[in-house]
Amino acid sequence: MMYENDMSHMVSVFVPIDRDKPCLPYDEFIVDSGRHPRLQEHGDHFYAKYVFPNGKKVSVISGSMFYSRIDAPYEVMLDDEDDPYGYQTDEELMILLAKAIGDTHD
């Protein structure tokens, strides 16, 4: 039985056993990922850090202490914005990453 804030199912996305990188879009630009280093004692919390060729950096996190839930498991932070995008679905994550990878404005 899964509780509303139980994000343990995301381990297969952020820490897969059958590949070297998380199962996230644009994984070739992920420079660091895994279990969130500061929240390991507080259950399942995960992160992935992207650095794109245009210099943009994006952090994707998931866990009950973040703006995420089972049906919208990602919180996304773009390095050039002040506020995170909480409760993002797979599709919304893909759109945000596509915008970051294509952004050439400073």
Structure tokens at 73: 């498991």
Residue 59, judged by CB atoms within 10 A of its CB (0-12, 13-18, 19+), counts as middle
The pLDDT of residue 2 is above 80: no
Q: What is the pLDDT of residue 46?
A: 95
Whether this prediction's pTM lies above 0.95 is answered by: no
Q: What is the pLDDT of residues 62-104, one digit of tens each?
A: 998 999 999 999 999 999 999 999 999 999 999 999 999 997 6
